[in-house]
A and B are shown apart, each in its own frame.
Chain A
Amino acid sequence: MNIAVKALEKDARDAAYALPLDKINVAQGILFQTDTMWPYFERLRREDPVHYCADSEFGPYWSITKYNDIMAVDTNHQVFSSDFSLGGITIGGGAANQEPLPMFIAMDPPRHDIQRKVVTPVVSPANLQYLGPIIRERAGKILDSLPIGETFDWVDKVSIELTTMTLATLFDFPFEERRKLTYWSDVVTAVPGHGLIDTLEQKMAVLHEYHAYFTGLWNERVNATEVKGDLISMLAHNPATRNMEPREYFGNVVLLTVGGNDTTRNTITGSVLALNQNPDQYKKLRENPDLIASMVSETIRWQTPLAHMRRTATEDIEFQGKTIRKGDKVVMWYVSGNRDETVIERPNDYIVDRENPRRHISFGFGIHRCVGNRLAELQLQIIWEEIFKRFPVIEQVGEPQRVYSTFVKGYERLDVVIPKRL
């Protein structure tokens, strides 16, 4: 870590501990973009783990910051609703011009359960067995095409490429146009004025184009005589979803695009970064590639690619000594739960052979637990198996560029050099 980064970290710590507790507002994109949110969360976990912030750009909200409290909220879907009509699953949902789309992650039972079950077969053990060799072949080709001894952006050339190829296969999306999926997914989660998109109008125009494209795919699949096994065909032919409103179909498309894109992509990038920041762990992994599975889980914890999920209280409830009122916005900060020292030993350390690496909260718990968790792990596992067949080391060059978002915790760019092949 360079001196400038260390100084930034110290400033953030001083600032986090100087504020009156009730003035702490962790929901600021800038904190995530500069990776300086950690001391704020540390302080909340220690001093006020169920914290009320009265004033933020997203309005008032509760922060749940400890692992077990997050699990308690996540598994109590009767009181803590995900429903889109109440604001859905992100802190920004429900604002005047950000009306959340209907999609199964933003629904409660029974509607959630019915729709989720329609798409689950795509990540069944049988389908993962089918996808594994395809992903491996692609990973190999991607890695073989990388320049040696030259700086390049790992995010663009590897993380995006591999995950978008997988996503295109799941949708049976025209393969040559697969980068549209990346672009649309990025636009969905982009905060206007911070890079990709300047204004809300511009964002809506892109979403319109995205919706129109997928409407075309729906029409093609719904009219097909032979039913294929891709996600759109599943939705178009299942009795539970084939009569969905166009807006609801689009909501589910958005969910599956973002869910399959950002998360795995940013964890792949995170793995390169974490190993570079922890050379002893990189060495341990190189000397014992059997640790890849454990490293993958540790990276998913360490990265926490989605920083939070939001719920809305459906009734007044006493929770850890606080009174959460009906209608209040409740934010579960997974990024903080994964650093909870009362549950995870040495949580700030990256340990590839950690004793219980699967114990993390990045996938969530309860009925909304990530449906694609095993596909994500599979892609991470395969890319590292293939990396170790080819490259002794991938060197990080300079600091990563991080995303301005309180939701997607990820990277826009990570420059690396591969000095040589094996």
Chain B
Amino acid sequence: MPKIKYIEHNGKEHEVEVPEGYSVMEGAVKNLIPGIDADCGGACACATCHVFVDAAFAAKIPPKTDMEETMLDFAPEIQPNSRLSCQIKVTKELDGLIVRMPHSQH
């Protein structure tokens, strides 16, 4: 099962195994990792599962849809590697993925 490392804003690391087919957001929520709120439940309709994707994995993740771009547009602390974790599906290629969480979800 692919391993994903979630790093909270305060530096605290959580490494968990997430089944393929889950979203990176679900991997956090189902493992009770703090820092990802996911208010809309994965519908790409809020921006409360915002993460920063580690550079090494940027090319392995499909690009953002218009809706994801739009929702991210309203989130604070946006960086070029910002993504909504509900829109990243876990695959074998993402084994070892590292995502960092922003200061807070909005």
Judge whether B77 and A71 touch: CB under 8 Å: no
Q: How far is the CA of A358 from the CA of B106 in the complex (A)?
A: 12
Q: How far is the CA of A369 from the CA of B73 in the complex (A)?
A: 12
Q: A125-B77, A365-B45 are in contact. Are A71 and B40 (CB under 8 A)?
A: yes
- Contact of A120 with B by CB under 8 A: yes
- Chain B 54-85: CB-based contact to A (< 8 A → 1; otherwise 0): 00000000000001001101101100000000
- Number of residues on chain B facing chain A (CB within 8 A): 21
Q: How far is the CA of A109 from the CA of B67 in the complex (A)?
A: 12
- Contact of B41 with A by CB under 8 A: yes
- Number of residues on chain A facing chain B (CB within 8 A): 22
Judge whether B106 and A113 touch: CB under 8 Å: no
Judge whether A125 and B104 touch: CB under 8 Å: yes
Judge whether B76 and A124 touch: CB under 8 Å: yes
Q: How far is the CA of A290 from the CA of B59 in the complex (A)?
A: 41
A116: chain B residues within 8 A (beta carbon): 74
Q: A124-B76, A125-B104 are in contact. Are A75 and B45 (CB under 8 A)?
A: yes
Q: How far is the CA of A74 from the CA of B76 in the complex (A)?
A: 21
Q: A75-B45, A125-B104 are in contact. Are A365 and B73 (CB under 8 A)?
A: no
Shortest beta-carbon contacts, A-B, top 6: A365-B45, A125-B103, A124-B76, A125-B104, A358-B39, A75-B45
Given contacts A117-B74, A365-B40, 15 further A-B contacts (CB under 8 A): A71-B45, A75-B44, A109-B70, A113-B73, A120-B76, A123-B106, A125-B104, A358-B37, A358-B39, A363-B39, A363-B46, A367-B71, A369-B45, A369-B74, A373-B106
List B residues at the A interface (Cβ < 8 Å).
Answer: 37-41, 43-46, 48, 67, 70-71, 73-74, 76-77, 102-104, 106
